[in-house]
Amino acid sequence: MFNYIILCILVPSIIFPSPVEDFLNPEKKEKLQLLLKIRFLKKILRKKNT
């Protein structure tokens, strides 16, 4: 039971970044967005090529 409670607290904090971290470290957020865009574009290109 205790492990379940800890999981319920930790998992959202890991999955959803805090707004404070985004504010203090905007470069990290921009890099992440750029990586996600690149992955998305690669997927689109793969679908077009097949």
Write down the pTM of the prediction. Answer: 0.45
Q: 21: Cβ–Cβ under 8 A, 6 or more apart, which residues?
A: 28
pLDDT score recorded for residue 29 = 74
In a domain, 4, yes or no: no
All residue ranges of the chain with pLDDT < 70 are: 13-15, 17-18, 21-22, 50
Does a structural domain hold residue 2?
no
Q: What pLDDT is recorded for position 5?
A: 76
pLDDT score for 26: 73
Instruction: Report the number of distinct structural domains present in the chain.
Output: 1
In a domain, 30, yes or no: yes
pLDDT at residue number 4: 76
- Model pLDDT, residue 22: 67
